[in-house]
Chains A and B, each alone.
Chain A
Amino acid sequence: MTAPSPVIRDPGQRAVFCGLTGIVWLHRKIEDAFFLVVGSRTCAHLIQSAAGVMIFAEPRFATAILEERDLAGMADAQEEIDRVVARLIERRPDIRLLFLVGSCPSEVIKLDLAKAAERLSRAHAGRTRVLSWSGSGIETTFTQGEDACLASLVPELPAPLAGASPDLLVVGALADVVEDQFARLFDQLGIPARFLPSRRAALETPVGANTRVLLAQPFLSDTLTALERRGARHIPAPFPLGAEGTTAWIRAAARAFGIASEVVDGAIELPRARAHKALARQRTRIGGQRVAFFPDSQLEPSLARFLKEELNAQIVEIGTPYCDRRILGPELQRLDGLPIHEGNDVNRQLDRVRAARPDLTVCGLGLANPLEAEGLSTKWAIELVFSPIQGFEQAGDLAELFARPLARRDRLAV
């Protein structure tokens, strides 16, 4: 094994979503929650635009838009929040968990949403729990919104019963189908597993010294810290992307629970073979292709590892908004020393990508069509966050997401 990948920093202009974007998937994942952004018209516009422009007729999110009178101090912001929340709860009495979500403007004017959440939790006690987190673009990028949201949940989670036996907490929003598959696998292995966030009753998951944390997503630094503060212990592992990633992830959990490796072999034999079979089909298309990543979701190092290790792709550049070595260490070990570019300047990276002309560029929606118009095939980073890609049964789907733009290019004759 070679030395782990070095991290190169290139500060400059970024073209990344802010953490508010996480609401787009979190509001579907946590079914009894509602997300109220306290921000500007830009925040409201961002969420509806990031959601592919208004795909949901009745979303479980909204924005309390700050106006001139809020800033000029003519209106007491805390009273305004109370008024807006009262109106919201009246309209949507089904809301059990309300997140007040901070934004760039609410951070800059130092609006205390934690205080508001505490007060509102008391006011609506027994009916709606109110928590707060910040998805502001001055502090978070894209997937870090989920991190901030889950981190806000952790202190609210109940303590386990005294003398509770060790159990596994799988952390990070997963598609329902993936969550169910993993739940079955851990059940087969005899590991008692829970998921955070869970689809319902997100606040009922116990956490304590008996909890072992297995991250399902790499962008959960603050959540991990908050869980550790509750006594939980982290199981470092690569992420469950691809046949090998998933195998290593499951094995890490099994080791932590003292499950014999033959037991693991038996449980994963069939799904793992299926994943290899599905990947073999895509390897002919993706093998040898040169792939570059713009920074978007923090999934980039794991995806690059998957493409390189399991599909024989060549990695041209790995950009990522932020690289937490504590979490990504096991991935960095497997990247053959390929450097990670953290927080790339978008114009300078565009220059490099134009010069390198990779076969596939993984990037944000703002860059994809312009690069396609320059003759470069692209894959939207956001699709990798919005699709079920984890686990054995999805390994082929994940490869297919990368193969599709290439296959499309081959197919089109116009």
Chain B
Amino acid sequence: MELATWTYEGPPHVGAMRIVTAMRDTHMVLHAPQGDTYADLLFTMIERRDRRPPVTYTTFRAADLGSDTADLLKTSAREAGERFAPQVLLVAASCTAELLQDDPGGLARSLGLGVPVVPLDLPAYQKKEDWGAAETFYRLVRGLHRPVPAEQRQRASCNILGPCALGFRHRDDIAEVRALLGAMGIAINVVAPDDASPADLTRLGEAGFNVVLYPEIAGTAADWLARTHRQPRTHGVPIGVGATRDFIREVADLAGVDPAPAMALERRDCRLPWYSRSVDSTYLTGKRVFVFGDATHAIAAARVGTEEFGFELAGLGTYSRTFARDVRKAADGYGLEALISDDHLEVEAAIAAACPELVLGTQMERHIAKRLGIGCAVISAPAHVQDYPARRAPQMGFEGANVLWDSWVHPLVMGLEEHLLAMFRGDAEFHDEAGASHLGVHATIPVAANEDASSTGGPVWDFQAEAELKKIPFFVRGKARRNTEAFAAERGSATITLDTLYEAKAHYGR
């Protein structure tokens, strides 16, 4: 048993729902008790979808367990087939139904519904949401695929794979990536699963290659297409300016086209490079940032943060064990040890210990940061309804880089304000409990949380040193306290005096 207050990922059948809900003319029968229908509201409320997910739940009850839950499944599958007339019917079990061992796929196939049935095996006690999405997409692609000989494929054409329901800004990313590909004259054969029908999936083989936007969702299917049908796939994800340039080159190579027209879009559309070089951004230099999210967004944020914002990476991690190796490798490059954990409490402890000035994370890290009094921007699912904005807010491409600039800088205390905060500690507006002024008077900071990050049982602060420490702005005080304590401990000092504080400052340089 694993103790969890919050979970980063839902169960695998929710992943399956993210695929079918994104698609057209597809329906899923889910063998599940009535409570599992809560999953509908993830889509209708958090993502504000205007239709119910195409899922029929068998909603068995305790009384059915004694009689025949298998019959219930057959009735549900038959009714769903008649009512919704899908091109494909997926059949799966949620965690409780898995224990009943009714073989939903086999039962549905035996009904002769006149539509292809794709059974899904989603082990709810081993796997999680992203795996469920990847597996479902792979089963659909594999089940519906019609091979096309490599020589009959148009080289300068591709499929865009990965965007799905409840994805972090997937809708807006598609538009950016379409524009990049369009500039190079690369035709888009199929986008899937988003807005694709099963009939569209049968045509995947016609494209020259696959653009994999979200490896967590489309990696399994794309790898199968590459391995079995020699249809190459991209590996780079265009989040940030540098990664977008790399992506353009990778795609141009695969398609055999000139990358220049897409590269030229940077000059026209992308403000991040200049904004980052403009002098007002100097204060961003070396800001300590903690990054946590799905692997794709976390690795991308680490690169963008360090190379394009001038941040210092204080931590990097993911909740996705499937992609742990990639994140470990990336963290290694920054001289860090990756945090691979889906235990929200462990992530909280790691953030508190790292004393960052900014957290880039998920909705969970937003809570953690709030409690610790640190600014936070959301970069990855799981996300809240407010992370599905009305305006276009892509993460990918050149406009995506602009969006990253705006959304990551916003939660920080701004440059000149930072100076004033340091100079006038007792000011009525700039005191400890006041947050960044541009976030309004309600953005109060629970200072104690950051203070708590200090170790106990080490050297003791004398009165003067303690008072001086309080003059350091809250957003760097935790770090100053820890540095000073470490410095004193190293030198065997039992007491921290004013001199220790300033010697430590000179030693660490900040």
Q: Which residue of chain B has its CB nearest to the CB of A45?
A: B10
Interface members, chain B 46-103 (any A CB < 8 Å) = 46, 48-52, 56-62, 64-65, 76, 79, 83, 94-96, 99-100
Interface presence of A256 (CB below 8 A): no
Q: What CA separation (Å) do A18 and B49 show in the bound complex?
A: 23
Q: What CA separation (Å) do A367 and B364 show in the bound complex?
A: 26
Question: Which of B57, B59, B94, B96 is packed against the most chain A CB atoms within 10 Å?
Answer: B96
Q: What CA separation (Å) do A370 and B126 show in the bound complex?
A: 33
User: Chain A interface: which of B32-40, B231-239, B412-420, B496-504?
Assistant: B32-40
Q: Which residues of B contact A80 (CB under 8 A)?
A: 1
- A48 pairs with B370, CB closer than 8 A: no
Interface members, chain B 117-141 (any A CB < 8 Å) = 123-126, 128
Q: Chain A binding site: helix, strand, loop or mixed by DSSP?
A: helix
Question: Which of B2, B50, B124, B128 is packed against the most chain A CB atoms within 10 Å?
Answer: B2
Q: What CA separation (Å) do A13 and B9 show in the bound complex?
A: 26
Interface presence of B5 (CB below 8 A): yes
Interface presence of B4 (CB below 8 A): yes
Interface members, chain B 317-348 (any A CB < 8 Å) = 345
User: Chain B interface: which of A137-145, A268-276, A353-361?
Assistant: A137-145
Q: What CA separation (Å) do A50 and B3 show in the bound complex?
A: 19
Q: What CA separation (Å) do A18 and B96 show in the bound complex?
A: 13
Q: Which residues of B contact A365 (CB under 8 A)?
A: 40-41, 44-45
Q: Which residues of B contact A161 (CB under 8 A)?
A: none
Residue from A50, A66, A137, A369 within 8 A of B44 (CB atoms)? A369
Q: Which residues of A contact B44 (CB under 8 A)?
A: 365-370
Count A-side interface residues using an 8 Å CB cutoff. 63
Interface presence of B374 (CB below 8 A): no
CB of B244 to closest CB in A, whole Å: 31
Interface members, chain B 344-403 (any A CB < 8 Å) = 345, 363-364, 367, 370-371, 382, 384-385
Q: Which residues of A contact B1 (CB under 8 A)?
A: 38, 64-67, 70, 75, 77, 80-81, 83-84
User: Chain B interface: which of A51-59, A124-132, A186-194, A230-238?
Assistant: A51-59
Interface presence of A181 (CB below 8 A): no
- A62 pairs with B3, CB closer than 8 A: yes
Q: Which residues of B contact A372 (CB under 8 A)?
A: 50
- A108 pairs with B100, CB closer than 8 A: yes
Q: Which residues of A contact B62 (CB under 8 A)?
A: 107, 136, 138-139
Residue from B10, B48, B61, B96 within 8 A of A105 (CB atoms)? B96
- B36 pairs with A42, CB closer than 8 A: yes
- A71 pairs with B11, CB closer than 8 A: no
Question: Which of A41, A67, A369 is packed against the most chain B CB atoms within 10 Å?
Answer: A41
Q: Which residue of chain B has its CB nearest to the CB of A347?
A: B83
Interface presence of B42 (CB below 8 A): yes
The 7 closest A-B pairs by CB, nearest first: A18-B35, A137-B35, A366-B40, A373-B50, A104-B96, A40-B95, A137-B33
- Give the A-binding residues of B (Cβ under 8 A): 1-7, 9-11, 13-14, 33-42, 44-46, 48-52, 56-62, 64-65, 76, 79, 83, 94-96, 99-100, 123-126, 128, 345, 363-364, 367, 370-371, 382, 384-385
14 A/B residue pairs, CB under 8 Å, sorted by A: A13-B59, A13-B76, A15-B57, A17-B35, A40-B124, A42-B124, A44-B7, A58-B371, A64-B3, A104-B33, A108-B100, A365-B40, A366-B52, A367-B52
